[in-house]
A and B are shown apart, each in its own frame.
Chain A
């Protein structure tokens, strides 16, 4: 079982449990407790840099740094892939919902998203009502959306082939974790994806609750799925049939579903990870 479902699922997938959205709003401050996201971020940035340098220099303490950093991320800001079908359900659970500029693309490719048409990151919940306090993060402002607008917004990015990830803010941000964002990611300009795929920091981006499966009879070999896959899990198998067929490596699959939504033949289905014996503990 997904570790977050175990702790915060309440009988459903944790990000579909409304409890996990309102927590920041309703939590009562324990006397003397001060959430300190700034010093957490400073500490995390320092550890990031230390770890990345250690990997580059092949230092001996790489594994040790990885374990420590991953535990910090697990408790403070884990991220999990969600397919479109679940992202749309999330949009019905939470208000306010606002789109804004993506901080990863800004830092990695100096992308300057300045209008609602460009905004690719999403902020969920009451935290968004305080956005004006951080103009550097929310450059150009934010765009508050209705449920239908939010659904259209996610669908738009899904059509383009972006992977949706749910962002969580944990102990350093005020006690128990709450769902704070939904982003639209791609490689290499999403740092969650970079840190998971290039640096093996698992909790930066957990696999979704699904895996993609192909129906060879329906597949016409067009290759759109392989082109859309951000995780390199799909190859075109050349032999056995008249033409090529898509082959999905289910161990590499993150269950984002962009292959499913892009397939013109409806040949790909998302199945629950829990139902696949060897994958149910692979996150």
Chain B
């Protein structure tokens, strides 16, 4: 079966590392959060908007349960079950 499509609105989800609600709530551990901004010899600021990016890296593991959509405080996530 083809895995559900997870869309992330990065204009709404700007500080995923600081928020981390979906990362912690997902029963299947589908999400990754990666530093988008890399400055040599500097640690990326967790609270800086746009410095980190949320990714649905393990989408194949998604069951479409909707837990992430439920916990997202900025409504940045949508799941389309195909």
Q: A-side interface residues toward B, CB under 8 Å?
A: 48-49, 52-53, 55-58, 106-110, 112, 132-133, 135-136, 139, 188-189, 194, 198-199
Q: Could you say which residues of chain A place their CB within 8 Å of the CB of B44? A: 136
Cβ proximity bits B31-63 to A, threshold 8 Å, 1 near / 0 not: 111110010011110100000000001111110
Q: Could you say which residues of chain B place their CB within 8 Å of the CB of A55? A: 3, 60
Q: Could you say which residues of chain A place their CB within 8 Å of the CB of B62? A: 56
From 1 to 56 in chain B, residues with beta carbon under 8 angstroms from any chain A beta carbon are 1-3, 16-17, 20, 23-24, 28-29, 31-35, 38, 41-44, 46
Expressed in whole angstroms, the Cα–Cα distance for A7 and B1 within the complex equals 41
Contact between A58 and B43 (Cβ–Cβ < 8 Å)? no
Q: B-side interface residues toward A, CB under 8 Å?
A: 1-3, 16-17, 20, 23-24, 28-29, 31-35, 38, 41-44, 46, 57-62
Given contact pairs A110-B23, A136-B44, A139-B43, A49 touches B29 in the complex (Cβ within 8 A): no
Q: A106-B33, A110-B23 are in contact. List 15 more A-B contacts (CB 8 A).
A: A55-B3, A57-B2, A58-B2, A107-B32, A107-B34, A108-B23, A108-B29, A108-B31, A108-B33, A109-B20, A109-B24, A136-B38, A136-B44, A198-B60, A198-B61
Contact of B3 among A56, A136, A139, A194 (CB under 8 A): A56
Q: Could you say which residues of chain A place their CB within 8 Å of the CB of B58? A: 52, 194, 198
CB distance from B36 to the nearest CB of A (A): 12
Which residue of chain B has the shortest Cβ distance to A45 in the bound complex? B34
Q: Could you say which residues of chain B place their CB within 8 Å of the CB of A189? A: 29
Contact between B57 and A49 (Cβ–Cβ < 8 Å)? yes
Expressed in whole angstroms, the Cα–Cα distance for A105 and B50 within the complex equals 20
Expressed in whole angstroms, the Cα–Cα distance for A57 and B34 within the complex equals 23
Contact between B43 and A135 (Cβ–Cβ < 8 Å)? yes
Expressed in whole angstroms, the Cα–Cα distance for A132 and B35 within the complex equals 18
Q: Could you say which residues of chain A place their CB within 8 Å of the CB of B17? A: 110
Contact between A194 and B41 (Cβ–Cβ < 8 Å)? no
Contact between B61 and A135 (Cβ–Cβ < 8 Å)? no
Expressed in whole angstroms, the Cα–Cα distance for A133 and B38 within the complex equals 13
CB distance from B50 to the nearest CB of A (A): 16
Q: Give 25 pairs: A residue, B residue, CB < 8 Å, sorted on A.
A: A48-B57, A49-B57, A53-B59, A55-B3, A56-B60, A57-B2, A106-B33, A108-B23, A108-B29, A108-B32, A109-B23, A109-B24, A110-B16, A110-B23, A110-B24, A110-B33, A112-B46, A133-B41, A135-B41, A135-B42, A135-B43, A136-B35, A139-B43, A194-B58, A199-B60
